[in-house]
Chain A
Amino acid sequence: MSSPTPAIQIDNLSYSYGSAEAVHDLTLTVPPGRCYGLFGRNGAGKTTTMKCLLNLLHPQRGQVRVFGIDPAKQEVAAKRLLSYVPDQVAFYPWMSVRETLDYLASFRPHWNRKTELELFEHFGLDPAQRTGSLSKGQRTQVALIAAICPETDLLVLDEPTSGLDPIVRREFIETVIGAYQEGNPGNRTIFVSTHLITEFEGLIDEFTIVDQGRSVLTLDSDQARERYQKIHARFAQAPPELDLKAALRVRRDGRELELIANGAGPELLERLRQHNPEELSTQALTLEEIFVATLKS
């Protein structure tokens, strides 16, 4: 069975600003219909990667494809297939919200007016207000409306919720799930870069953690939560000397042990059990905890 054309294909991408390497040999594939997270700290190379997809930067090595199209060669064709919400939203400040959306819609072959109206009402935006006087949260809401109404099969979100208040962040994610995913659920693909991982936890199907421009870990979210475990054990006396090399991290505190395991959970649990702990429990790591454990080990 041949797999469908990936929504995003990045092969061996490298990009440097002068001597500072922002992205190094990055490879990842986003299948259509998936929600894919690109996780990294500030300066990890997330935005540079996104800019290569949008042809705002040209890959210096390697290549990027959007639904099989090279954005550097067929910019219009590639951009027709995607929508983008940047981390810093900028509009012409003298235009009203209404004029801004009409202006952005003029570049699109398709625009869902009904969805636009629903989101306008949902966010409580005033169409007559000049974008220059919008709050940061409202600007992001307008950008999200502009990204959803063209009903493209790929939505690219670059740190979309950083700097926004919790209510706006919550509404943002609900809108992505509701208004965007509802349209054509099997094909609607989301590529989101963020370091606010907890908020997107339930939405992310698969993710790549990048650090200093390099890919550190790529995993399916359900598999990740199954593989990474936090094990807590308490013994009657000081914990015995155990071979815990299989653990990613070990913390000791008096009679207690806390381990972070990556796949070796069952083996470590068995080893701890042999010493009859008073208490033994396991918990899956959240994606954010996996992110921290991966970058700190």
Chain B
Amino acid sequence: MFLQINFKSGMPIYLQVVDQVKAAAASGALRPGEALPSIRPLAEELRVNRNTVAKAYSQLESQGVIETLPGRGCFLKANHSALRKEVRRKLLVEEIDQAIVQAHHLQVPRHEFLAMIHERMDVLDNKRRANEEHQED
């Protein structure tokens, strides 16, 4: 898995790592059971502080996205969030609210916004399907 850090996004570096691993997992680019790069080589490659990568991994682990097997490394877990359903929903609501605020400012009306959500979910589904078919070949 290749990660890309953007210092101009205004987003903390560890969160960029967290988000990219989650995005790769959601699209099937990273499959359950697959290994993530170890902390040291990833930090060297991205040229970011080792502690930043460690912080990202420990957040991913506490959110149930990855698991650390001692002596073997970090692996993507199958779809099991450690958080309860209501907590998961609440986290998502915050993100949705932000997108709605953005839509308002960018003058995207409700029906267009909802259509875009369907469209984006289809894109992700297709990507995942393509990745799965690839796996079966």
Contact = CB atoms under 8 A, between A and B. Distances in A.
Interface of A: 33, 35, 170, 173-174, 177-178, 181-182, 185-186, 199, 201-205, 222, 225-226, 229, 273, 282-287
A202 B10 contact: no
Given A185-B54, A202-B52, A286 B47 contact: no
Given A178-B44, A181-B43, A222 B49 contact: no
A84 to B, nearest CB: 20
B24 interface: no
Interface stretch (B1-9, B26-34, B79-87, B128-136): B1-9
Given A178-B43, A178-B44, A201-B7, A35 B49 contact: yes
Contact of A173 (B5, B11, B47): B47
Given A182-B40, A202-B47, A205-B51, 10 more contacts: A178-B40, A178-B43, A181-B43, A181-B50, A202-B46, A202-B49, A205-B49, A225-B7, A226-B10, A226-B12
A199 B5 CA distance: 13
B99 interface: no
B44 to A, nearest CB: 4
B50 A283 contact: no
Interface in B41-90: 41, 43-44, 46-52, 54
A283 B43 CA distance: 24
B13 to A, nearest CB: 6
A35 to B, nearest CB: 6
Contacts of A283: 8, 10
Contacts of A201: 7
A202 B47 CA distance: 6
A174 B42 CA distance: 10
B51 A181 contact: yes
A229 B8 CA distance: 9
